[in-house]
Amino acid sequence: MSARRRVGVLISGRGSNMKSLIDAAKAKDYPAEIVLVIGNRADAGGLAIAKDAGIPARMIAHRDFPSRAAFDAALDKTLKEARVELVCLAGFMRLLTPEFVEAWRDRMLNIHPSLLPEFPGLDTHARAIAAGKRVAGCTVHFVRAEMDTGPVIAQAEVPIEPGDTPDTLAARVLKAEHRLYPMALKLVAEGRVRVAGDKVEIADA
């Protein structure tokens, strides 16, 4: 196969979605490799997971920079030094500047725990239950400057069961996230995903 696409992952916390990407990339026929993990918090547990997997892990604290633009410039420089081609946000709890987003347009993916455009932002599971929804889920999309927008690459539905709490629903959605994110990255890394306007077109294998 052709060279694997080089992927950088940005995290702020435990890195469970990052781990699902690392695990998928262990397969020899997976079209991407995780070459760098960057965390913006020293207590991001995912940094230790990355190091244990033999992946370079960097901590770049946003608090060390005078502005969002300066922090994003440091991220951009570090990603480029590692020759990263695709960026995956995995629980990265920082809004990125429009300039950074545009620099990585259609090369930066995010996963969100709802069926976008429903329930962008936080507390997605509580909001879905409160709204009386029968179905929740998760979405992988290309990042745009507006939060939780951008062309949808893939979605997975998860039924909302009677008696579900935000925590029980979140646990089931997270399992779906761990399957969906590696699948979506695979499609992008294989070059099968094309953005036309604001919609994603996926070519057959």
107 CB-near residues (< 8 Å, 6+ apart): 85, 86, 87
Distance CA 146, CA 33 (A): 28
Annotated catalytic residue: which of 112, 125, 141, 178?
A: 112
- Give catalytic status of residue 178 as yes or no: no
User: Quick one: which H or E segment has residue 45?
Assistant: none
Residue entry with tokens 């469970």: 16
Is residue 109 within 8 A of residue 67, CB to CB? The reply is: no
Distance CA 64, CA 53 (A): 27
What are the φ and ψ backbone dihedral angles of 91, each rounded to 5 degrees? 70, 35
User: Quick one: which H or E segment has residue 199?
Assistant: strand 199-202
Beta-carbon neighbour count of residue 108 at 10 Å?
22
Distance CA 79, CA 8 (A): 7
Active-site positions read: 112
